[in-house]
Amino acid sequence: MNKPTEEWTTRHAPHMERFTEVRPVLVQDAPDAHLLFLKIGNQQFTIGSHHDTKEEAEWERDMLCIALDRLQRGESL
């Protein structure tokens, strides 16, 4: 089982970022809007609706990475 390393914070599982992507999207009245995607193989899924800022989308990516890590390790949430 993977144990958290020193580089982790409570909000980040960096080894799972390869399964996610944050990209800008055009949204009226939200000039810095971004979407979060889950990517597995050649499949890609939008996670939620757009975020008004890149920082919000990256925070959700951090949470998704933690959840993916827990799923991989077989932890119950």
Closest by Cα among 69, 21, 29 to 46? 21
Residue-wise pLDDT for 34-74, tens only, equals: 999 999 999 999 999 999 999 999 999 999 999 999 999 89
pLDDT at 65: 92
Dihedral of alpha carbons 14, 73, 51, 23, sign: positive
Is 4 inside a domain boundary? no
pTM of the shown model: 0.79
Is 5 inside a domain boundary? no
Is 6 inside a domain boundary? no
Q: Average model confidence (pLDDT) for the chain? A: 86
Is 60 inside a domain boundary? yes
Averaged pLDDT, 6-10: 50
Residue-wise pLDDT for 20-41, tens only, equals: 999 999 999 999 999 999 999 9
Please tell me the total count of domains within the chain.
1
Is 1 inside a domain boundary? no
Is 28 inside a domain boundary? yes
Rounded distance between C-alpha atoms, residue 70 and residue 20, angstroms: 15
Is 8 inside a domain boundary? no
Q: Are 48 and 60 in contact (CB under 8 A)?
A: yes
Domain region containing 19: 14-73
pLDDT at 77: 57
Residues 6+ away with beta carbon under 8 Å from 19 = 38, 39, 40, 65, 68
pLDDT at 11: 67
